[in-house]
Amino acid sequence: MKARGAVLTRREAHQAPVENWGVLRAGDAVEIVRHAQVIATGEVEEVSLSGNVLWIVPTGHERQLFLKSEGVLVRRA
């Protein structure tokens, strides 16, 4: 028997932050969240080997760099 609340719905799974940025691949659609507000959306361009640095390409803008140490969260869009 599964523990109550152990199964995530599809919507919850997409809203859950990606803890290991290394699993993200180029082309994945993501949202960058800081202080419970979405500050950027776009497609992953590249992730560092350490998984601590992420570059995304927002629609119509130049690529942006995000560092895990800055406290931002990444969610799949």
Query: What confidence tens digit (pLDDT) does each residue in 10-47 have?
Result: 555 457 899 999 999 999 999 999 999 999 999 999 99
Is-contact 28 43, C-beta < 8 A? yes
Token pair listed for 20: 């290991």
Q: Is residue 3 part of a domain?
A: no
Q: Is residue 51 part of a domain?
A: yes
Q: Is residue 68 part of a domain?
A: yes
Question: What domain count does the chain have?
Answer: 1
Residues 6+ apart with CB under 8 A from 15: 75
- Bigger pLDDT: 38 vs 4: 38
pLDDT for the residue numbered 59: 78
Q: Is residue 13 part of a domain?
A: no
Q: What does the buried/exposed string (b/e) look like for 50-74 if buried means 16 or more CB atoms within 10 Å of the residue's CB?
A: eeeebbbbeeeeeeeebebeeebbb
Q: Is residue 19 part of a domain?
A: no
Domain extent for 67: 28-76
Q: Is residue 8 part of a domain?
A: no
Q: Is residue 7 part of a domain?
A: no
pLDDT for the residue numbered 1: 47
Mean pLDDT confidence for 62-73:
94
Q: Is residue 60 part of a domain?
A: yes
